[in-house]
A and B are shown apart, each in its own frame.
Chain A
Amino acid sequence: MARASRGELLQGTLPLLILRTLATGPNHGFAIARRIQQISKSVLRVEQGSLYPALHRMELDGLIESYWATTENNRRGKYYRLTKRGSRELAHEAERWRSIAGAIAAILQEG
């Protein structure tokens, strides 16, 4: 049960986390995955590969765009960066999450 709920949470939040990560600057998939793990302090354990379909879907939706560039240790990697629509989406989603989180926190405190 706990695992399942964590999975669902992940489903919904992964795009948001990607957007948040890319808000600090363009990066490639491995770096994004590591950053998410750092931020979430391993609460979100991911099969890292599943990051990619999510990235690609977001690219198709026009939230991020990709380009090829050289990584810090001199390899070719596919980099992603936010588009304008992506920034808007991030702002909007972040606001939504905050309000939901606030509401849930308020309910939990009352209880």
Chain B
Amino acid sequence: VPGWLNRFLLRARATLSPRHDRELHDELELHLRLLEEDYAAQGLAPDAARQRARREFGNPATIHEASHDLFSFRLLEDLVQDLRYAAREMRRSAGFTMVAVLSLAIGVGAITATFAMVDAVMLRQLPVREPGRLVAFSRGSATEWGDWSYGAFVRWRGGTDGLDVAASSEVRPIEIAVTGGDRPEEARVSAVSDSYFEIVGANLTLGRSLAGVDPTAPAVAVISDAFWRRQFGGAADVLTKTIELRGTQYAVVGVARRGFTGHSVGYPTDVWIPLAMQPSIAGNQQLLDDRPGADARWLKVLARLKADAVVERAELSAQVVRDRFLGEKSAHLGSLSPEVQRDRQERVRLVAAATGDAAIRGRFARPLRLLTGITALVLLVACANFTNLMVARSEGRRREYGIRLALGGGRWRLIRQAATECIVLAVTAGLLGALLATWLTMGSLNQLAAMILPVDFALEMNTRVWAFAAGCVAVAIAFGIWPCTRPARASAATLVPRSWTSSAQSSARAVAGRAILIAQLTMCVVLLIGAGLLLRTVVNLRSQDLGFDRNVLIVPVPLARAGHSEPAAAAIAGEIRARVAALPGVQAAGLSGSALMDYTNYWIDGSQRLTTDRGAAPAGVRWTVASVGQGFFETVGMSLVRGRTFDAIDAEGSAAVVVLNESLAGFLFGRDDPIGKQISMSPRGPAHTIVGLVNDAHQISPRDRGIGVLYLPMRSFGHVLLAVRTEGPPSSVAAAVRQQIGEAAGGVQAGNMRTISNVLDTAIGQERLLSVVAMSLAGLVVAIGCVGLYALLSYNVARRSHEIGVRFALGATHGQIVAIVLRDGAASILPALALGIPIGIAASRLLSSQLYGVEAGDPWTLVSVGVLLPLVALAAAARPARAASRIDPIMLLRNE
């Protein structure tokens, strides 16, 4: 038996068995008895013999104690004792404990949940073999994965040194019916090249991957673990089942390992099908054309570095393959063709793909940074609150500690006991916080994130997130442990004051408590200012004049997705417009090729010079191009300032015409009439005749004002937006519109119908999200601050009850006493405002890129905060003030 185990067993026996103590006692007793008998035998009287034996043996109690210690888990026993003590103390001041623990829990929970999001979007690596050796092909960007044509992929796969190359289509939601499955559902489907799973390094739990699929029967699918559990209940016979996608039956051949949901962050894949099946999904046979002229860019290309390969060499090799392909292309299309010109400018780059394709990373980076900042502030306030609680509690215990020290209690033991309590509180709060974060990550956060984009981050509480939460708890402990062990570290003499009120120390303590409270309230002010500005931003964005009406219905009609070719699509779009316009209750219908208020669809250029009759426009004008069809301006309620809008002849494309918005016209032509002037988008580009002038509208985004827009007649009808102006509420015609689209376009499903007002809400999703979160967290922090204020005021009233009693006795009125308490409160609030407002102004400069129609130092926000906080503080002061005014001097003096 190893020594430690022997020790452990003996101690465990001693601890668990009630016999051990008795045996110890018996053992010592026997010795004493034998000694006594010895002396009796030597002829001593019984009393004398006993005394002699006792003297020779020593104090049995001490020996017993020493042996007992040997046989016990001393540290453990102390710990249990400390824990019990802590629990008792927590119960005794349940209210205050609860506030401190809950606020800390919310602080920890909020920031941990935020971190789980940061982790999912920024940090988490794909759950694959050696993710560090995965690379993706980009078009020169250091982060963004490029979109490539099938031809480019095939050539790379065939000829790049040092790389195994795979490709994948975008992940798209498709209605799936499962034979023998529970219910049809919209699943995310991605088409991938045959060795995708092998190259990415994702294992399967069941069946086989898509490698070596029979080319004559390519309708097979690998499904994700989550989809398997959802649709098949995790049954093993799934490999005999099929699923139906867009009318084709796919045999399920494999189930991917749990946790692997493809490489697209925010878009977890449920079903993978072979690349060869993409045309049947997308309704476009051109996609798999690998000849140099075919240029549909729909693939993400990723690769695994071979064992001995280095990324620089592989990149060079990829570039060589690309150049060769461009050579073919220019032989085919002519070296001056715009495609070849464009492609020549691009350089292939291999970028690290370990954390997956996060096209959405850019959209979330800033909101996540802000959220982290806000939640960090909340945690800080909660920690300050915790410090205050610990100060109050340990100060209340000075007397006890003093006595224990004076009686010879171990100082280390006292410190340990105080620290145990602090740690128990912080860990309890941490666990609650982790619980809160888990709950948030299970759904609410995705719903919040969906205000920005409808994504699914597959958030999880992994080791990294737990470690982060543990770090937060450590911070909280750091905040609490110094004040809570302070009395245990002080000398006994200073701990036992003669009288509670006369102690100079108690006022020093009050000062420390107040300083912490002021810091806490200052953070409240800062957070309130930030939240106020964000709220004003949302209000401004919502209530501004958009330049078009809000009640217009916008319906996406994805004609290309249903496989309609360009000329047919144009005819269908015209038909749809005519049919919908003829519906009862519809005032007008129009078409647009450009999304409304979605800046990701526009390329805003400040560098390219517009050229007019007057020559090149001065630099610095930001402008973009939108394409709209007949009736668009009228339908969405934009107003024609001058000239005309597009007519049927423009739509056919016989004349190159353009409509400008006022900003652009003003910039280019000043006060002159631009109608009839010529404009081209590059110095030697084709000229367009300006036929009309419309008002500025928020075409590109709700935030952009004064961006020049060139409206061109729409030429491409693959993805059309139908705008519908109705007489009554827009929802009343939605069903009829959907039906007309279905009939006119032969099976095309109209997309998500929304009013412009809804579109606006989506467009400002990020701002709404931030203002909601900031407001609720600010409210929380203010609540915590008020509890702190309440506690301090109550403490001070209790401390000064003697003084207040004397004042009453000397004739002070109730009003005067209440004024004392209110002054006390003001002494915390006013410094907090004085500090918080400048800090808030400075801090909200960091926010300025998020703000709209409001400045960092917005006086309205500052005034609101300056009024709101004292009002809330007044509510917190009410009870202590009443308590003070009820102090009875007679009772007080009787107690002295």
The answer, yes or no, to whether A93 is at the interface (CB within 8 Å) is: no
In chain A, residues 33-87, which have Cβ atoms closer than 8 Å to a Cβ of chain B?
A: 33, 47-50, 52-53, 56-57, 59-62, 68, 71, 75-78
Within 8 Å by CB of B71, from A48, A60, A78, lies A60
Q: Do the beta carbons of A53 and B23 come within 8 Å of each other?
A: no
Asked if B27 is at the interface of the complex by the 8 Å CB criterion, the answer is: yes
Interface flags, B825-844, vs A, CB<8A=1, else 0: 00000000000000000000
Q: A53-B63, A56-B71 are in contact. Are A47 and B31 (CB under 8 A)?
A: no
> Is the beta-carbon distance between B28 and A52 smaller than 8 angstroms?
yes
Q: Which residue of B lies closest to A50 (CB)?
A: B58
CB pair A62–B3 under 8 Å, yes or no, is yes
A29: interface (CB < 8 Å): yes
Complex contact A56–B70 (CB within 8 A): yes
Min CB–CB distance B223 → chain A (angstroms): 59
A20 contacts partner chain B, Cβ-Cβ < 8 Å: no
- In the assembled complex, the CB of A103 is this many whole angstroms from the nearest CB of chain B, namely 30
Q: What is the CA–CA distance of A8 and B7 in the complex, to the nearest angstrom? A: 26
Instruction: Provide the residues of chain B in CB contact with A52, threshold 8 Å.
Output: 27-28, 31, 63, 66-67
When the two chains form their complex, are residues A33 and B31 in contact, meaning their CB atoms are under 8 A apart?
yes
* A48 close to B7 (CB less than 8 A): no
B30 lies within 8 A of A75 (CB): yes
In the complex, which of the residues A33, A60, A78 contacts B27, with contact meaning CB atoms closer than 8 Å?
A: A78
- Bound Cα distance A52, B61 (Å): 12
Taking CB atoms, residues of chain B closer than 8 Å to A56 are 67, 70-71
- How far is the CB of B550 from the nearest CB of chain A, in Å? 82
Q: Identify which of A30, A60, A78 contacts B6 (C-beta below 8 A).
A: A60
* Minimal beta-carbon separation of B57 from chain A (angstroms): 5
Instruction: Decide if B893 is an interface residue (CB 8 Å cutoff).
Output: no
Residues of A within 8 A of B66 (CB): 52-53
| Partner pick for A49 among B6, B7, B57, CB 8 A cutoff | B57
Q: Which residues of B are found within 8 Å of A61, using beta-carbon distances?
A: 3, 6-7
Would you call A48 and B58 a contact (CB within 8 A)?
Answer: yes
In the complex, which of the residues A30, A49, A61, A75 has the most CB atoms of chain B within 10 Å of its own CB atom?
Answer: A49
How many angstroms from the CA of A85 to the CA of B671 in the assembled complex? 107
B56 touches A48 (CB 8 A): yes
Q: Which of B31, B56, B70, B71 has the most CB of A within 10 A?
A: B31
The reply to whether A48 and B30 contact each other, CB–CB distance below 8 Å, is no
Task: Let me know if A49 and B30 touch, CB within 8 A.
Answer: no
- In whole Å, how far is A48's beta carbon from the nearest beta carbon of chain B? 5
Q: How far is the CA of A29 from the CA of B63 in the complex (A)?
A: 13
Contact in complex: A30, B34 (CB < 8 Å)? yes
Interface flags, B40-65, vs A, CB<8A=1, else 0: 00000000000000001111101100
Q: Does B26 contact A (CB under 8 A)?
A: yes
Report yes or no: A30 in contact with B7, Cβ–Cβ below 8 A.
Answer: no
A29 to chain B, nearest CB (A): 5
CB-defined contacts of A33 to chain B, threshold 8 Å? 31
User: Does chain A have a CB within 8 A of B1?
Assistant: yes
Contacts of B27 in A (CB 8 A): 29, 52, 77-78
Q: How far is the CA of A77 from the CA of B60 in the complex (A)?
A: 17
- Which residues of A are at the interface with B, using a C-beta cutoff of 8 A? 28-30, 33, 47-50, 52-53, 56-57, 59-62, 68, 71, 75-78
Name 6 extra pairs, CB < 8 A, besides A28-B30, A61-B7: A48-B31, A49-B57, A49-B59, A52-B31, A53-B70, A59-B10
For the complex of A and B, 8 pairs with smallest distance between CB atoms: A49-B58, A47-B58, A49-B63, A62-B6, A30-B34, A53-B66, A49-B57, A30-B31
Interface residues of B (CB under 8 A from A): 1, 3, 6-7, 10-11, 23, 26-28, 30-31, 33-35, 56-60, 62-63, 66-67, 70-71
- 13 residue pairs A–B, Cβ–Cβ below 8 Å: A28-B30, A48-B31, A48-B56, A49-B60, A49-B62, A53-B70, A56-B71, A60-B7, A60-B71, A61-B7, A62-B7, A75-B33, A78-B23
